[in-house]
Amino acid sequence: MTILSTLQVLLGGLAGGLVGFSLGLVGGGGSILAVPLLVYLVGVPAPHLAIGTSAVAVAANAAMSLLNHARAGNVRWPCASVFAGAGVIGALAGARLGRMVDGQALLAAFAVMMAVVAGLMLRRREPAEDRRVRLNRGNAPALVGTGLAVGALSGFFGIGGGFLVVPGLILASGMPMLQAVGTSLVAVTAFGLATAGSYAAAGLVDWPLAAVFVGGGVLGSLGGARAAGRLARRRGLLTRVFAGLILLVAAYVLARSLGMMG
């Protein structure tokens, strides 16, 4: 069992709080923030160990954020169940393949994809926030197909996939941003558990650090969910915040991963 220093415990709790806030605010950013934080701030030596540890922590923090959004009525459960069920199948397959690829190369490729997703989100027109999306024959096939694709990418890159789940739900069903954020956390939790199980079976999880990370995420997720509700009252603002966060993280991760590979 890993013995953490006092500094690692403090830094791990701080990193968990940042990840929890991101998950509560925009339903994403957790894992792609968690891996750089674990490697560059906390000092986890190997990217794949950081990926496995972050998957455990992000799944737990996403579940806590999900409870907050569910109480606020932001979760469309039927849509979430179909999307997450298909996605878990993809995540298990993607995680197996992802462990065979260099960790820095995975992050560099994902950073490029995040930038594309951010551009698509900024171009999209935000629907009215009071429209409630329901599962039907028209959107069910799109939810299954998008869930499979997003799950596979989530497992492959070793991340919870919130940056992909939110746009995927919006594209497949047309749900408003705040509903997509809340609903996405069902899939983020499921994908994180599937990815974490795959990495844990390979011995690539630091359990004490994951526990510290989860502890920090409890307070962060509460603050993030409250902030999301306030931002959503201004039409389109939450979408712009989401896209801006994607671009910032993409630039940082791409610069660091290319530097490590060079």
The tens digit of pLDDT for each residue in 214-244 reads: 889 888 888 887 887 777 666 567 777 777 8
Q: Token digits for 228?
A: 């999301």
Whose tokens are 């660091």? That residue is 256
**Residues sharing a CB contact under 8 Å with residue 204, sequence separation 6 or more, in sequence order:** 48, 49, 51, 52, 53, 99
Sites in the chain below the pLDDT cut of 50: 1
Report domain extents, the chain: 7-261
CA angle 39, 55, 188 (to 5 degrees): 130
The DSSP symbol for 42 reads I
Give this prediction's pTM: 0.72
Whose tokens are 């993030």? That residue is 224
- Rounded Cα distance between 202 and 169, Å, is 31
pLDDT at 158: 64
Maximal C-alpha separation, the chain: 54
pLDDT at 2: 61
- Rounded Cα distance between 80 and 73, Å, is 13
**Residues sharing a CB contact under 8 Å with residue 73, sequence separation 6 or more, in sequence order:** none
pLDDT at 125: 61
Which one, of 128, 236, 133, lies nearest residue 182 by Cα?
133
